Structures are given as C-alpha cells and as structure tokens.
A and B are shown apart, each in its own frame.
Chain A
Amino acid sequence: MNAPDLPAAWTAVCAVADIPVLGARRVRRPDGVEIAVFRAEADRIYALLDRCPHKGGPLSQGIVLGDAVACPLHNWTIRLEDGRAREPDEGCTPTFGVKVEAGQVWLRHDELLAPIAAMRTAHCDGAACAEA
C-alpha cells in the first residue's frame, strides 16, 4: 500500500467501495456547490462539479449510463470525462482531477478549495459554462 506521491497536493475523500456502482457521492467544498464523484462501469472514477450546465441540477443524483450521467431534472446527458453536454444540447460543467490508489479516491487539494468563478475546463470556451 503506497501513499500518494505528493501527499500535500491530494486530499483523500473516500474509498471506491463507498460509492455505489453506477452511482455517485457528493463531496463538500468550502464555498458551497459540491463535487459529484462518480463510479462508472469497471470502477472508473470521475469528478464533476455537482451542477448541470442547463439549470443547475445536482448531477450526483442522476442515472449513470456508460461514461455519462443523465441529469435528474431535465435529462440532459453530461459526459463524465470532460463535463460536456451530449449533443444537440450545449454546455459544460467543470471537471476535477481525481485519482485512485489502493482503492482510495483522491481529489486535488487546490481544486477542492478553488472558488467556482475560477473553474473552467480545457474543453470549454467559457461562455457556455454555467455561471455561479
């Protein structure tokens, strides 16, 4: 059992087993909106801001299908890998760096603390990204 290489940069959140298969858990952040940590098929773990780009629905409460989640409010499908809405819908939600080591899920410490306004994804032009 190795400890993560840079302990200061990562924060342990829970064990993979603590997340339901094809489900999600919510992780508290200091400035309010939570992070949804998903467990897709074959224990692939993803982390998104828990807020749909459409009307802000809590994605953690949606149905996980493949590597995507259907928002519980209006059924937009959001890809877990890059937070983008599946076409023809448009928009994206910020993603978070996540890693799994020895069955333990870690989130990036700085991202956990960052204010929402600073969050963008590499795939997002910013304009379509949900504002706080």
Chain B
Amino acid sequence: MNKPKLVLVGNGMAGVRALEELLKLAPDLYDITVFGAEPHPNYNRILLSPVLAGEQTIEQIILNPLSWYADNGITLHTGKTVVEIDRIRRVVRTDDGLEAPYDRLLLAMGSLPFILPVPGKELDGVIAYRDIKDTETMIDAARAHKHAVVIGGGLLGLEAANGLMLRGMDVTVVHIMPWLMERQLDDVAGKLLQKSLEDRGLKFLLGAQTQALLGNDAGRVRAVQFKDGSEIPADLVVMAAGIRPNTALAESAGIHCSRGIVVTDTLQTVTDPRIYAVGECAAHRGIAYGLVAPLFEQGKVVANHLAQMGIGRYTGSQTSTKLKVTGIDLFSAGNFMGGEGCEDIVLSDPFSGVYKRLVVKGDQLVGACLYGDTVDGSWYFKLLREGRKVSDIRDKLMFGESHLGDAGHQGQSKAQLMADADEVCGCNGVNKGAICKAIKDKGLFTLEEVRKHTKASASCGSCTGLVEQLLMFTAGGDYSAAPKKKALCGCTEASHQDVRDAIREQHLLTIADVYAALGWRTPNGCSSCRPALNYYLISTWPHEAKDDPQSRFINERSHANIQKDGTYSVVPRMWGGETSAAELRRIADVVDKYKIPTVKVTGGQRIDLLGVKKEDLQNVWHDIGMPSGHAYAKALRTVKTCVGSEWCRFGTQDSTSMGKILERATWRMYAPHKVKFAVSGCPRNCAEAGIKDVGIIGVDSGWEMYVAGNGGIKTEVAQFLVKLKTQEEVLEYTGAFIQLYREEGWYLERTVHFIARVGLDYVKQRVLGDAAGRVALWERLQFALQGEPDPWFELDKAQVDARQFIPIVPVAAALGEPA
C-alpha cells in the first residue's frame, strides 16, 4: 500500500478535529501520523477550568482516547516535540531524533502563554495556565500553599482565579486595565462581574502594573511587587496575560508568519501549499482565532481540501464569549463597545443584576454585551452573523426572541436555574442532568450532536434555546454555535438558500440534477434532504419538474396521516368548515362499514377518522366522496371561519363565503410547511385568525389581513399586513403572500420563521409596494395549481402508487404446513 502520508503536528482540539472531519470524508486516503508534545491523547482544553475548580476530572475531558487513534490506524507519538521541518526532503524531526516523512503536513501547535518579562519570572511557583500539567501544578499548590496571585483579568485568568479560590486559596487578580475582561465586556458589565466575583471572595487590583516577582531563599516565589513599590504575598503566581501563536517551528522552516502562520482560505500556508495550518497558531486574514467554533469550521475546510474535494472555503468567523464560572452569566459578541456611527440600546436593572447593551449601526446589530441574563445571546449572535436588517424589530430587540416554546419545560427559561432532575425536553422526557452528562461524557459540541445522543430538542424543538444554554454552559462558551451558513443536511455543504438558488439559476428539474450540480456526498440523499429537494423542484418549476413520491414522507405518499400503530387517519375537506347532512351520513356509513374506531372533530373545524387500515384507504376515500383535506401534507390544511354576517348578530362581513373562496382557490397547494388560514367576520375574531399563517378579520369597512401567526410550539401573534376593501383584493393579496412564501421559504420553515428571517419590511415591499409584482405572484400561484389533481380521486395523475395499498399474500399453499 502506497498511501500518501499526512503528518499532524499538535495533538490538540483543532488538529484532531480536522482529522475526524477528514476520516468522515475519506477514511482510507492517508497514512496518518500525529505528534503531540504533551503526554496525553487529545483532550478538551476548554474544560481545564472545571477540572481546576474540581467539577470534572482529567479522564472526563479526554476527547479521543488512545483506542480512537488505534481504531483509525493513526500512529500517535505523545510527549514528542517536533523541532524541525525539512521542506526539501519533506520530513519532520522531533527533539529526540525521530523522523517522519510527509506528503501533506498539518500544523496545529496552538499557542503559548505570554510570560511577563519581569525579574523573578523563572522562580518556582510561577506558572502559566495552558495545559494539564499547569492545572495539576495549581491543584498541588492549592494543597500546600495559601496565597495565589493571578496576573491577567481576562477570561483565562478569571477562570484560573475562580478555580484556585474554590480549592481554598486566597486569590488576588492583578489586572493592568481599568476593568475586567476589557476585550469582551464594556465597563459597566466589567464592574458588575467584579462585584459578583468579590462577593464570592476574590480580590482585585485593577490598573496595577507588576514590576517584579520576589523569591525566598529556596527559590520559590513569595511576593509580587508593583511599580509603586507595594507588595502582596504570593506562593503561586499564574500568568494569564494573553497568548501568542506558537509559530517558532514554522518560522524556522521559512514559512511566512505574521501574528500566526499565514494561511489562505483553504488553510494552506502561503509559503508551501503542502503545508496547512489550523487553530490558534494560524493567522487567517490577519486573525488567529482562540475559540472552538472557528477552529472547528477551519477543521471542516482543511479536511475537505485534504480529501481532494476542494470545494470548501474558510472565510472567517464571528466569535462570541462566555465565562465558564459557575453561576455567572455573561455573553458578548461583535463590537459591543460601539463608537462612531453606532447607537446603543441599553437595559440596566441593578437590583436583579441584569445589564444588556446592544449596539446598532445603520439598520444592523453589530454588537451585544449581556450580563446576568444571557438567554437571548444565541439569537443576537445569529442576527449579528447573518447581518439581518433589524429596523423592523428594533423596538422589540432588547426583549429578545427566545427560541423557547411556551410549554413543556415548566415555564423555565434559564437553564442554569434548573435542577438536574428538571425536565428540559417535554417531548422525549430528557432532564437537565442527562443532557449535561451526555455533553461531558461524550464530548458533544453542537446542538445536532446533543439531539442525536439524548433526543433532547429533537422532536418539536421548543426547548432548543434551553439546550443551547446548557451547551454553552457545559461545553464552554465557545461551543460551536450554528455556523454562518447551515448545511441543509449531512449529505451536502450547501444551505437551503444555495439549493433554491441553484435550482432557479441553473433550471434544475430533477433531484439527480441537484445532486450533480451541488456535489451531493450520498448516492440518494437522506430523509431530510430528499423531501426538501422535491419540494424546491416542483415549487420552482411547476408543470416542468416531476414530483417524486418516493422522496416524500409516508403521509404525502399515502395521502393520509400515519398513526403510532401503523394505521392511518382520514380527514375529508369541508370548505370553510361547512358540511351537510348528506356528507355527515356518508361519513357515518363509512365509519360503520370499515369499523373505524375513533371519530374526532379537529381544531381546524374538520372531522378526523382515526385508525383506518392502509388496505381500506382507497375505499374509504371513494365511499366518503369528499375531496382530500390534505391534513397529512405540507400544504394548505384548512381555512377556519366563524359564521359571519349570514347568521351572527355581530357579524360585519360574510366570513364563511370569504373562507370558502380562499380555500377553493388555494387547496392542493404544496408549501414549505403546513399552511393554515382563518377568516373572522368581526373583530371578536371567533375564528382565531390572530394565530394563523394568514388571518383575515372582517371590519365594517372591509378586511384586515394579518400574516405569520402560529398557534403551535410557541404561540406567535400574527402581524398586521394591510387593510383591504373587497373579497377580490383579499384573494389577490393572500395568494401573493403565500406564493412568496412558497417560492422563497425554506423547507419546514413556517411563515412565522420565514418572516423572522427575511423581515416583515421585505414582505411588505414585495406584496404591498410592488403592485405588478403582487399580481405576478398571484398569477404564478394560479398557474402552479392549474390542473393539480385531487390525490384521493385522480391517483394516476397525482402519481399515487396504488400498489402500496395492497399487501402481497404469498400463494396459499406456501403458507400452509411445510411439506
């Protein structure tokens, strides 16, 4: 076997993550050798703070045990420092003379702590805080000594100080700047943090400049001396005044370095394309990242390139910060200090210890600094990364979005206040303790991983916000929040938007075309991407792209809702929720004839027949003789109406006929997700139009149109769009809005999420501001629906495979007694 050789220098989180990504893409491409200077396998460096604080053990933070290297055929050399790269012969050499040849070399040496150049820095008891050895030294020192001084009031220094204090030392933090964590917090939040840490017993000397470290006769540090001549006692000094990219090895090999090893968007060094660098030692567009999320994004790109796929590009990351000190909640991201051209939105509640500052520039959020209540940190971070316009939500911005649903977790919104036994995921019965344990034990970093391993937030998703908080809190602040661009599924790098754009721009008509155009990694996709692609194709190119029933969920393939026991439910369509004696009689007869166990009235004013055997479905449809209610589809479900002016003494408009007109015009309409309408005849709104995708409310002078309401997981009140005069206008505006959603929404995105993404202003501009565009949208919807079959009665035309309804019965003889 003559596989090319890949050598990784640096056995830490960035490098090993890149290997993991590579093994996923191309498991057998390389002979891999790893060199690590520390005597340990890859561990989670972020979690050294909880180890120091006594909350976790070293064993718990190991990410890749030795067996992982063996299982993947990786040669691992621990405790060996690479001291030379010979780029001519393409070998690396270690301090003890070991040589390893390479075809591709990945540098991930991380960073080195910055040691203040003061007299006494080499005394015993003066250490940095970087690795397991430093952590063990601190734990030992805490047993034998009393006074600790931490130099540096940044993230690392405060975590070290907190850990040493918890281990019983008397700790002073010395910081040269006027407030703590000045690179992550503004002065107000910094002071709040200081107060809270002082209440726990830490001491601070701010604005203090260290002049020298003084030793005793045995050569151990005994005191720290400052510029003004004052001294404080110190048996242990921890230098946490910053880190520097570890570039000595690269520089000695003539590789260009400037604040790190300079790399391109493919993470190749600019000097030698065989050599790659990732993580804290690499400088990408002038930035050396020290947080996990960017390192993981880099790992993905470098793996893609090493796997010879060559389609990944790293274009930089936005980062956010969170302090891993139990019980202290702070979050910051972006330009939280503001400045020229920026405006601050500030909320300050000293009594509750809550401070929030949002920095807005133009119509975008550019920075956030939160203290005491960080529930919305991930939402702000998302707005920041995506650069979404916030002018339309500016008045609500401060109060957050909160991904949290309204039910299923006892009304809790702050994960930290919950007890381990409290339920986080009400669908799958997962409590806080189980989630935290899985994050720690299995080394999970992403929401997807937590969903896979614990099922928490994997069903309705209403607890996603809580799970994200737990991730931030347990895995460390720099947990890998959703990247800038989220891939549609594991089969591709492309996002929903990329796919929609490609289908439209390249006029793609089949799923196979999409696979080819966008480089799908799997032969026939997965249960996440296939339904999405099928929808995008038929919604973008109606009457051109052919529907693929095998790429639809079973409900849309069998045109009924599958139930937990494998039977189905049938919901016939009743226009506007109106029915008749004849229809009810037929339904009653069908219930008797097919022995249907349950008959239920639904929230959308329809009748649901539950427990129908699959073999009976066709006959049930036929005997009922009513159109499909599409209660099983990502399509128009129901138009709910009140009785309106025809009967109601308060009614101002004929809501029932308006509802029927809307329903007849838009049924059979597939959409990114289910769609529900309602029409009420007066502002009393008995049809609950305020929580529907489109809600129409009759008033004396016409109709008010509301959009993007939702009654589900999280109740969202629909937003007012426009006031209309006639039924024709209601039809045109509703059609135009829903067609915009059909053309531009992402699969499984409800209208409320669509508008949260694109902004109500955008919808107004397309539907209200552009009259010709509105008419065109409405016409495109009518064109798409032209000749669209009712799947219950035109099976062939709707491509319903009738074979699915008939089980195969092997010939009777075969099922008898064997001969």
Q: Give A residues with C-beta under 8 Å from B.
A: 8, 11-14, 18, 20-23, 25-28, 30, 34, 37, 41, 55-58, 61-66, 70, 72-73, 75, 77, 88, 107, 109-110, 112-113
Contact = CB atoms under 8 A, between A and B. Distances in A.
A11 B810 contact: yes
B88 interface: no
Interface core residue of A14, A37, A75 (most chain B CB under 10 Å):
A75
B581 interface: no
Given A64-B550, A109-B818, A20 B808 contact: no
Interface stretch (B469-477, B500-508, B520-528): B520-528
A128 B203 CA distance: 56
A27 to B, nearest CB: 5
B813 to A, nearest CB: 9
Contact of B522 (A63, A64, A65, A113): A65
B453 interface: yes
Contact of B808 (A25, A64, A113): A25
B600 interface: no
A8 B551 CA distance: 38
Contacts of B551: 63
A66 B521 CA distance: 11
A55 B459 CA distance: 15
Interface in B185-241: none
B527 A62 contact: yes
Nearest to A61: B554
Interface residues of B, number: 33
B807 interface: yes
Interface stretch (B51-59, B345-353, B558-566, B645-653): B558-566
B516 interface: no
A11 B814 CA distance: 6
Nearest to A20: B801
Nearest to B527: A70
A53 to B, nearest CB: 15
Contacts of A109: 814, 818
Contacts of B601: none
Contacts of B807: 25-28, 34
Contact of A23 (B452, B801, B808, B809): B801
B45 interface: no
A64 B562 CA distance: 17
B808 A13 contact: yes
Contacts of B557: 61
Given A27-B807, A41-B523, A65-B522, 4 more contacts: A18-B808, A26-B808, A62-B554, A66-B524
A61 B555 CA distance: 9
Contacts of A18: 803, 808
Contacts of A58: 562, 566
Given A20-B801, A20-B803, A109-B814, A27 B522 contact: no
A4 B551 CA distance: 34
Contact of B524 (A26, A27, A28, A65): A65
A70 B526 contact: yes
B522 A66 contact: yes
Interface string B539-556: 000000000011101100
Given A28-B810, A107-B810, A61 B524 contact: no
A5 B807 CA distance: 27
Contacts of A57: 564, 566
Contact of A20 (B525, B550, B814, B818): B550
A66 B566 contact: no
Given A12-B810, A27-B808, A63 B818 contact: no
Contacts of A55: 564
B421 interface: no
B815 interface: yes
Contacts of A73: 562, 564
